[in-house]
Amino acid sequence: MTVMQDMSDSHNPTDTDAAEDARPVRKGVEVIADEVKRLPNGPGVYRMLDEKGEVLYVGKARSLKKRVTSYTRLQGQSNRIMRMILATAAMEFVVTRTEPEALLLEANLIKRLRPRFNVLLRDDKSFPYILVTGDHESPAIVKHRGARKRKGDYFGPFASAGAVDRTINALQKAFLIRTCSDSYYENRSRPCLQYQIKRCAGPCTGEIDADDYAGLVAEAKAFLSGRSQLIKKQLAEQMEAASADLEFERAAIYRDRLTALSHVQAHQGINPQSVEEADVFAIHQEGGQTCVQVFFFRTGQNWGNRAYFPKADKSLEEAEILESFLAQFYDDKPAPRQILLSHALAEQELLAQALGERTGRKVDVATPQRGEKKELVDHALTNAREALGRRLAETSSQARLLKGVAEAFDLQAPPRRIEVYDNSHIMGTNAVGGMIVAGGEGFTKGQYRKFNIKSEDLVPGDDYGMMREVLTRRFSRLLKEHARELPTKDQPEADEDSDGDVPAAPADMPAWPDLVLIDGGQGQLTAARETLEELGITDVPLVGIAKGPDRDAGREKFFIPGRQSFMLPERDPVLYFVQRLRDEAHRFAIGSHRARRSKDIVKNPLDEIAGIGPTRKKALLRHFGTAKAVSKAGVDDLAAVPGISEAIAKLVYDHFHE
């Protein structure tokens, strides 16, 4: 089987007679055959596109000419490959210098373009890392998630934020590195509580000199880089030397640091003796679904595990799926020194070479057959089986609930995508609208979206007006980015000032909702219906959910346009399901509102003054105590602050006395 077939995927094809598609066959083959004439024999990446220009498949090849030529023959092709060939209307190519480079580019394009004939990694949540900052004279150790824009050294990934917090907590005791923010550090005049309880060396107030603190930071980096045994050995030697010199207080410090390091390794579950740094992958298939379980081991510690459920065709073998999964998994994260697999891969050496070139060091990809490493893989495989079993049970239950929702709200079919909307504010301030999404696999958090209410015409607390703004911005952008046939009506331009683009829907979830739930009664529902009608949208089912008397759960009243309001039986599973959806929307909206409110609370008025940087702001706050006192000071008083010139003093005064 060719590499192209190894990494392809489709939507559960059904056996059809190829003769029925005689004209498309000629078209697809002719397009591909025409491209072959101009292709080189070198490595590269190719994309197959349909008539709409959407990418069907991304593949890589050692020889582009040979690989693409294989698609000009329909004999011997599987049904899914044949369907892909039939749909191909154009092709695009990128020539690379080496085959590993092609492999990495292919993985990047698959994650970005999400072609429907590829194995797709469903990953809507980034991993947390530990960051030892590199943009300050006294580095801090902090938790980090997201783009690595800040200068410093990143260690991870960790499977959860809790694992990061536990590790940082132990590292504080072991290496006495600060965890405070730079602004907090700059404003210290005496050591904080962390120094008093022996979790920080106190560099902010000179309790430790710069060289000694740099030594602690270097030790922490070495420990996190996998040299944990060396660091522990050095600390033990220093403790014995201090004890021999009768410096028992210093020896006690080393003892406590050693205890903290042992604590890190003793509270991580499985802690292998022969594996310092490795990721362990195990894959299991059952019931037409696939689970990949990943365990992370660093410095001889288990940094947690996570289950993935990639989208893959039922006909693909486990090793084929795992191979495509791994390339995408490491597209945005560094590979460890060792990767242990439950299944041998067809291009295992190529993958190791590609990951090694990316990380700048050797990466060993192996399928252990015995010993402790085999036990780690077996443990991951057991977790994969259990996780997939739970998912199959949940999917079955979810399917029954969605069928019940369709019956309760008179839908033509069980909804594949449900959107729920709610607003949150306090007397109209910091108003935020929230949208959550659910489908056949439960909540799809990568699709959640918040809307900061921006209209200046709204009366504070106007819930109907807020709902109109949220729905207008959501659906006008949806019309622009995922147009479909709708009743002819003038459609307004999409809101260009929204809080982010409409996120791309997962490959098996439509962009348009099959059901929209509004947290509110008849008034909110009417506002929502009128808003969608103004956009020319009349075929999206709307349901309003009004809280029961005294806000009792179980006594909710439902409103549907054209129907009398009704209630569901008190113990109906569908009622519980809808309550969960509404409560999740409420939680998300309130969380977004609180985050916005907290941001406003901590905002310093001095931050808004152009020309006032951290140093001048620190000088003003030290002199006057608070930003409020600064706002009341005269020009002469401001100019008396060290580092504040008369021009800057006038600038500050004018800002508060416009």
**339-350, pLDDT tens digit by residue?**
999 999 999 999
Residue whose C-alpha is closest to residue 106's, from 78, 77, 67: 67
Q: Are residues 283 and 261 in the same domain?
A: no
Does the pLDDT value for residue 15 go beyond 50? no
Q: Are residues 14 and 80 in the same domain?
A: yes
> Is 103 exposed, middle or buried, given 0-12, 13-18 or 19+ CB atoms closer than 10 A?
buried
Strands 515-519 and 278-286: unpaired
Q: Of 65, 82, 113, which one is at a domain's C-terminal end?
A: 113
Q: Token pair 């999964």 is at which residue?
A: 325
Report if residue 273 sits inside a domain.
no
The least confident of 262-276, 338-352, 438-452, 537-551 is 262-276
Q: How confident is the model at residue 22 (pLDDT cuts 50, 70, 90)?
A: very low
Average of per-residue pLDDT across 262-281: 68
pLDDT for res 263: 58
Average of per-residue pLDDT across 125-139: 86
The span from the CA of 259 to the CA of 319, in Å, is: 42
At residue 209, the 3 state secondary structure works out as coil
Structure tokens at 216: 């602690």
Average of per-residue pLDDT across 314-323: 88
Q: Are residues 132 and 98 in the same domain?
A: no
Neighbour tally for 504: CB within 10 Å: 15
pLDDT for res 292: 93
**377-395, pLDDT tens digit by residue?**
999 999 999 988 888 877 7
Q: Of 211, 237, 266, which one is at a domain's C-terminal end?
A: 266
Average of per-residue pLDDT across 581-598: 80
Report if residue 588 sits inside a domain.
no
Share of the chain above pLDDT 70, in %: 83
Residue 506 vs residue 162, higher pLDDT: 162
Residue whose C-alpha is closest to residue 623's, from 610, 635, 633: 633
Quote the domain boundaries for residue 382.
278-390
Average of per-residue pLDDT across 447-463: 77
pLDDT for res 53: 86
Residue 553's CATH number: 3.30.420.340
Report if residue 489 sits inside a domain.
yes
Query: Taking all residues of the chain, what is their mean pLDDT, rounded to a whole number?
Result: 81
The least confident of 61-75, 269-283, 516-530 is 269-283
- Contact call for residues 528 and 542 (beta carbons, < 8 A): yes
Report if residue 404 sits inside a domain.
no
Residue 320 vs residue 288, higher pLDDT: 320
Q: Are residues 568 and 473 in the same domain?
A: yes
Does the pLDDT value for residue 34 go beyond 80? yes
Q: How confident is the model at residue 598 (pLDDT cuts 50, 70, 90)?
A: low
pLDDT for res 613: 79
Q: How confident is the model at residue 414 (pLDDT cuts 50, 70, 90)?
A: very high
pLDDT for res 280: 94
Residue whose C-alpha is closest to residue 432's, from 467, 474, 472: 467
Q: Are residues 514 and 624 in the same domain?
A: no
C-alpha 129 chain-centroid distance: 13
Report if residue 400 sits inside a domain.
no
Q: Are residues 212 and 185 in the same domain?
A: yes
Residue whose C-alpha is closest to residue 584's, from 534, 501, 499, 517: 517
Q: Are residues 415 and 375 in the same domain?
A: no
Report if residue 397 sits inside a domain.
no
Kind plus residue range of the DSSP H or E element containing 467: helix 463-481
pLDDT for res 597: 65
**215-261, pLDDT tens digit by residue?**
888 888 877 776 666 677 777 777 777 777 777 776 776 677 777 66
Residue 92's CATH number: 3.40.1440.10
The span from the CA of 383 to the CA of 472, in Å, is: 44
Average of per-residue pLDDT across 596-615: 68
- Contact call for residues 548 and 400 (beta carbons, < 8 A): no
Does the pLDDT value for residue 19 go beyond 60? no
Residue 204 vs residue 500, higher pLDDT: 204
Q: Are residues 133 and 236 in the same domain?
A: yes
Structure tokens at 191: 């050591």
pLDDT for res 112: 86
Average of per-residue pLDDT across 286-291: 85
Average of per-residue pLDDT across 387-410: 87
Residues whose CB falls within 8 Å of the CB of residue 103, separated by 6 or more in sequence, listed in order: 60, 327, 347, 350, 351, 354
Answer whether 0.85 is exceeded by the pTM: no
Q: Identify which of 101-110, 550-559, 569-578 has the greatest average pLDDT.
A: 101-110
Q: Are residues 138 and 207 in the same domain?
A: yes
pLDDT for res 229: 64
Average of per-residue pLDDT across 591-600: 69
Q: Are residues 428 and 556 in the same domain?
A: yes
Report if residue 488 sits inside a domain.
yes
Structure tokens at 613: 């940087």
Neighbour tally for 1: CB within 10 Å: 9
pLDDT for res 262: 63
Q: How confident is the model at residue 481 (pLDDT cuts 50, 70, 90)?
A: confident
Does the pLDDT value for residue 558 go beyond 80? yes
pLDDT for res 274: 74
Q: Are residues 315 and 441 in the same domain?
A: no
- Contact call for residues 362 and 336 (beta carbons, < 8 A): no
Report if residue 47 sits inside a domain.
yes
Q: Are residues 296 and 332 in the same domain?
A: yes
Q: How confident is the model at residue 355 (pLDDT cuts 50, 70, 90)?
A: very high
Does the pLDDT value for residue 446 go beyond 50? yes
- The total of structural domains in the chain comes to 5
What type of residue is 253? Answer: I
Q: How confident is the model at residue 45 (pLDDT cuts 50, 70, 90)?
A: very high
The least confident of 111-120, 222-231, 358-367 is 222-231
Does the pLDDT value for residue 628 go beyond 90? no
The span from the CA of 427 to the CA of 421, in Å, is: 19
The span from the CA of 93 to the CA of 102, in Å, is: 11
pLDDT for res 489: 40
Q: What is the CA radius of gyration of the chain?
A: 30
Does the pLDDT value for residue 502 go beyond 90? no
Share of the chain above pLDDT 90, in %: 22
